[in-house]
Amino acid sequence: MTHDEGKTTIAPEVLLTIARLTTSGIPGVSRLSPVPSAKMQRLIKRGHAVEGVTIEIQDNLVYTDLFVVLKHDVNARDVSRNIQHEVARAISEMVGMQVGRVNVHIENIDYPQEAEA
């Protein structure tokens, strides 16, 4: 007697949540930034997006764009590389999908408010 194991389907929202939460937890990330409207228009037909994250799946590869605001006292290159590594690792480990690319878009830097005179 054979057992058909069936099929597992991962909703795109799961990938968006993994990418969003992983990015938010990276030291140096202040917050996620809204996805620019031009990128949103392109994604309406074939991608998925939430605040600060877009996901496209092509040929079983996950392509992610992350729009972030960094803290003022960090090295942007180091933080970006850490985001890329951690998001790719999280998607791969949690859902077993291969990651094609993780693009990090630094949209702004958060500086502390200057003291009023």
Domain ranges of the chain: 12-110
Per-residue pLDDT, 27: 97
Dump pLDDT digits (tens) for 18-34: 999 999 999 999 999 98
Q: Give pTM, 2 decimals.
A: 0.85
For range 86-105, the mean pLDDT: 96
The torsion of the CA quartet 31, 83, 16, 7, rounded to 10 degrees, works out to -160
Give burial (CB, 10 Å; 0-12/13-18/19+) of 41.
exposed
Tell me how far apart the alpha carbons of residues 65 and 53 are, in angstroms, rounded to a whole number: 6
Tell me how far apart the alpha carbons of residues 84 and 18 are, in angstroms, rounded to a whole number: 13
Is CATH 3.30.70.1350 the classification given to domain 12-110? yes
Dump pLDDT digits (tens) for 16-75: 999 999 999 999 999 999 888 766 666 655 678 778 999 999 988 999 999 999 999 999
